[in-house]
Amino acid sequence: MWPYAGVFLASLIVDSIPVFAPPAWTLMVVFVVKYKLDVWKTVAAGSFGSTLGRWCLSRFMPKIAHRLLNRRENENIAFAGRKLGGKFWPAFTFTLLYSLTPLSTTALFTAAGAARVNPLPILPAFLIGKFFSDAVMVFASRGAIRSFKDVLEGQTSPKALVFTALGLLLITATLFIDWRELLDRRRLTFRFNILR
Protein backbone atom coordinates (compact mmCIF):
# COMPACT_ATOMS: atom_id res chain seq x y z
CA MET A 1 0.00 0.00 0.00
CA TRP A 2 2.87 2.41 0.67
CA PRO A 3 3.89 2.68 -3.02
CA TYR A 4 0.47 4.19 -3.79
CA ALA A 5 1.02 6.73 -1.00
CA GLY A 6 4.40 7.42 -2.60
CA VAL A 7 2.71 8.06 -5.95
CA PHE A 8 0.26 10.44 -4.26
CA LEU A 9 3.02 12.39 -2.48
CA ALA A 10 5.33 12.52 -5.51
CA SER A 11 2.50 13.81 -7.71
CA LEU A 12 1.48 16.38 -5.09
CA ILE A 13 5.05 17.67 -4.83
CA VAL A 14 5.84 17.98 -8.55
CA ASP A 15 2.48 19.57 -9.35
CA SER A 16 2.83 22.18 -6.63
CA ILE A 17 6.13 23.47 -8.08
CA PRO A 18 5.62 26.79 -9.91
CA VAL A 19 8.47 26.25 -12.36
CA PHE A 20 9.36 23.46 -14.73
CA ALA A 21 9.20 20.09 -13.02
CA PRO A 22 8.84 16.59 -14.42
CA PRO A 23 5.28 15.62 -15.29
CA ALA A 24 3.62 13.52 -12.59
CA TRP A 25 2.88 10.73 -15.04
CA THR A 26 6.63 10.07 -15.45
CA LEU A 27 6.86 9.36 -11.72
CA MET A 28 3.79 7.14 -11.96
CA VAL A 29 5.52 5.09 -14.65
CA VAL A 30 8.56 4.64 -12.41
CA PHE A 31 6.35 3.38 -9.57
CA VAL A 32 4.36 1.06 -11.87
CA VAL A 33 7.51 -0.50 -13.32
CA LYS A 34 9.58 -0.67 -10.12
CA TYR A 35 6.86 -1.96 -7.77
CA LYS A 36 4.63 -3.70 -10.37
CA LEU A 37 1.62 -1.64 -9.30
CA ASP A 38 -1.85 -1.70 -10.77
CA VAL A 39 -1.98 1.06 -13.39
CA TRP A 40 -5.51 2.21 -12.57
CA LYS A 41 -4.85 2.52 -8.83
CA THR A 42 -1.55 4.28 -9.54
CA VAL A 43 -3.20 6.78 -11.89
CA ALA A 44 -6.01 7.39 -9.38
CA ALA A 45 -3.52 8.08 -6.55
CA GLY A 46 -1.39 10.25 -8.81
CA SER A 47 -4.35 12.23 -10.16
CA PHE A 48 -5.61 13.05 -6.69
CA GLY A 49 -2.08 14.04 -5.65
CA SER A 50 -1.72 16.23 -8.74
CA THR A 51 -5.06 17.90 -8.08
CA LEU A 52 -4.08 18.73 -4.51
CA GLY A 53 -0.69 19.94 -5.77
CA ARG A 54 -2.31 22.25 -8.32
CA TRP A 55 -4.61 23.60 -5.62
CA CYS A 56 -1.51 24.36 -3.48
CA LEU A 57 0.17 26.02 -6.47
CA SER A 58 -2.83 28.26 -7.09
CA ARG A 59 -3.06 29.20 -3.39
CA PHE A 60 0.61 30.21 -3.05
CA MET A 61 1.21 31.64 -6.52
CA PRO A 62 0.06 35.19 -5.66
CA LYS A 63 2.84 35.37 -3.07
CA ILE A 64 5.62 34.40 -5.49
CA ALA A 65 4.43 35.44 -8.98
CA HIS A 66 5.77 38.98 -8.67
CA ARG A 67 9.23 37.59 -7.78
CA LEU A 68 9.43 35.13 -10.67
CA LEU A 69 7.87 36.99 -13.59
CA ASN A 70 8.09 40.48 -15.02
CA ARG A 71 5.20 42.96 -14.68
CA ARG A 72 3.78 42.36 -18.18
CA GLU A 73 3.81 38.57 -17.76
CA ASN A 74 2.11 38.90 -14.37
CA GLU A 75 -0.61 40.98 -16.03
CA ASN A 76 -1.02 38.38 -18.80
CA ILE A 77 -1.28 35.53 -16.32
CA ALA A 78 -3.72 37.47 -14.15
CA PHE A 79 -5.85 38.20 -17.24
CA ALA A 80 -5.93 34.50 -18.19
CA GLY A 81 -6.78 33.69 -14.57
CA ARG A 82 -9.73 36.06 -14.60
CA LYS A 83 -11.01 34.23 -17.69
CA LEU A 84 -10.81 30.99 -15.68
CA GLY A 85 -12.74 32.68 -12.90
CA GLY A 86 -15.61 33.55 -15.22
CA LYS A 87 -18.70 31.48 -15.87
CA PHE A 88 -18.57 27.93 -14.56
CA TRP A 89 -19.24 25.84 -17.68
CA PRO A 90 -16.83 27.62 -20.05
CA ALA A 91 -14.06 27.48 -17.42
CA PHE A 92 -14.87 23.83 -16.62
CA THR A 93 -14.90 22.83 -20.29
CA PHE A 94 -11.69 24.68 -21.10
CA THR A 95 -9.89 23.17 -18.09
CA LEU A 96 -11.13 19.68 -18.92
CA LEU A 97 -10.05 19.89 -22.57
CA TYR A 98 -6.69 21.46 -21.69
CA SER A 99 -6.06 18.78 -19.04
CA LEU A 100 -6.64 16.06 -21.63
CA THR A 101 -3.71 17.32 -23.68
CA PRO A 102 -0.09 16.48 -22.89
CA LEU A 103 0.63 20.16 -22.24
CA SER A 104 1.62 21.25 -18.75
CA THR A 105 -1.23 22.63 -16.67
CA THR A 106 1.14 24.76 -14.60
CA ALA A 107 0.12 27.83 -16.61
CA LEU A 108 -3.58 27.30 -15.81
CA PHE A 109 -3.09 27.17 -12.07
CA THR A 110 -0.41 29.84 -12.11
CA ALA A 111 -2.94 32.07 -13.86
CA ALA A 112 -5.74 31.16 -11.46
CA GLY A 113 -3.47 31.84 -8.50
CA ALA A 114 -2.04 35.11 -9.82
CA ALA A 115 -5.57 36.38 -10.50
CA ARG A 116 -6.63 35.22 -7.03
CA VAL A 117 -9.39 33.14 -8.59
CA ASN A 118 -10.95 30.42 -6.46
CA PRO A 119 -9.59 27.22 -8.07
CA LEU A 120 -12.25 24.94 -6.57
CA PRO A 121 -14.66 25.17 -9.56
CA ILE A 122 -11.96 24.08 -12.05
CA LEU A 123 -10.39 21.34 -9.90
CA PRO A 124 -13.01 18.67 -10.78
CA ALA A 125 -12.42 19.27 -14.49
CA PHE A 126 -8.67 19.06 -13.92
CA LEU A 127 -9.04 15.80 -11.96
CA ILE A 128 -11.11 14.17 -14.70
CA GLY A 129 -8.82 15.32 -17.52
CA LYS A 130 -5.68 14.48 -15.56
CA PHE A 131 -6.93 10.98 -14.77
CA PHE A 132 -7.56 10.10 -18.41
CA SER A 133 -4.49 11.81 -19.88
CA ASP A 134 -2.22 10.25 -17.25
CA ALA A 135 -3.78 6.82 -17.81
CA VAL A 136 -2.98 7.07 -21.52
CA MET A 137 0.59 8.19 -20.80
CA VAL A 138 1.24 5.52 -18.14
CA PHE A 139 -0.18 2.68 -20.26
CA ALA A 140 1.75 3.87 -23.30
CA SER A 141 4.98 4.25 -21.33
CA ARG A 142 4.64 0.86 -19.68
CA GLY A 143 4.20 -0.71 -23.10
CA ALA A 144 7.19 1.20 -24.41
CA ILE A 145 9.38 0.05 -21.56
CA ARG A 146 8.41 -3.57 -22.19
CA SER A 147 9.73 -3.33 -25.73
CA PHE A 148 12.63 -0.94 -25.29
CA LYS A 149 14.32 -2.05 -28.50
CA ASP A 150 11.25 -1.15 -30.55
CA VAL A 151 11.01 2.22 -28.82
CA LEU A 152 14.59 3.06 -29.73
CA GLU A 153 13.96 2.18 -33.34
CA GLY A 154 10.73 4.22 -33.33
CA GLN A 155 12.38 7.26 -31.79
CA THR A 156 14.88 7.53 -34.62
CA SER A 157 12.30 7.34 -37.38
CA PRO A 158 11.57 10.51 -39.37
CA LYS A 159 7.92 10.37 -38.29
CA ALA A 160 8.88 10.28 -34.59
CA LEU A 161 11.32 13.17 -35.05
CA VAL A 162 8.66 15.29 -36.78
CA PHE A 163 6.11 14.62 -34.01
CA THR A 164 8.71 15.37 -31.33
CA ALA A 165 9.61 18.66 -33.02
CA LEU A 166 5.93 19.61 -33.38
CA GLY A 167 5.28 18.76 -29.72
CA LEU A 168 8.20 20.89 -28.55
CA LEU A 169 7.06 23.72 -30.80
CA LEU A 170 3.54 23.53 -29.40
CA ILE A 171 4.76 23.56 -25.79
CA THR A 172 7.14 26.45 -26.46
CA ALA A 173 4.45 28.41 -28.27
CA THR A 174 2.05 27.86 -25.39
CA LEU A 175 4.59 29.21 -22.93
CA PHE A 176 5.37 32.37 -24.90
CA ILE A 177 1.92 33.30 -26.23
CA ASP A 178 0.63 36.62 -24.97
CA TRP A 179 -2.69 35.27 -23.71
CA ARG A 180 -4.14 38.69 -23.04
CA GLU A 181 -3.65 39.77 -26.65
CA LEU A 182 -5.06 36.49 -27.92
CA LEU A 183 -8.14 36.30 -25.71
CA ASP A 184 -8.94 40.00 -25.48
CA ARG A 185 -7.95 41.37 -28.87
CA ARG A 186 -7.90 38.15 -30.91
CA ARG A 187 -4.29 38.79 -32.01
CA LEU A 188 -1.59 36.14 -31.79
CA THR A 189 1.48 37.75 -30.20
CA PHE A 190 4.56 36.13 -28.67
CA ARG A 191 6.52 37.45 -25.68
CA PHE A 192 9.87 35.78 -25.14
CA ASN A 193 11.02 37.85 -22.18
CA ILE A 194 8.86 36.36 -19.39
CA LEU A 195 11.36 36.25 -16.52
CA ARG A 196 12.63 39.14 -14.44
Domain total in the chain? 1
Could you give phi then psi for residue 96, rounded to 5 degrees?
-60, -50
Instruction: Say if 143 falls within a structural domain.
Output: yes
Whether 184 is covered by a domain: the verdict is no
Q: pLDDT 10s digit of each residue in the chain, 196 long?
A: 899 999 999 999 999 987 767 889 889 989 998 899 999 999 999 999 999 999 998 888 777 766 766 676 677 677 777 777 778 888 898 889 888 876 678 878 877 887 778 888 899 999 999 999 899 888 877 766 655 444 455 555 665 556 556 555 655 665 677 766 776 677 888 777 655 4
Phi-psi region of 176 (alpha: psi -120 to 50; beta: other; left: phi over 0): alpha
Whole-number Å distance between alpha carbons of 150 and 170: 26
- The SS3 of residue 44 is helix
170 in a domain, yes or no?
A: no
- Flag whether 78 is in a domain: yes
This prediction's pTM: 0.73
Could you tell me the residue range of the domain that residue 31 belongs to?
2-147
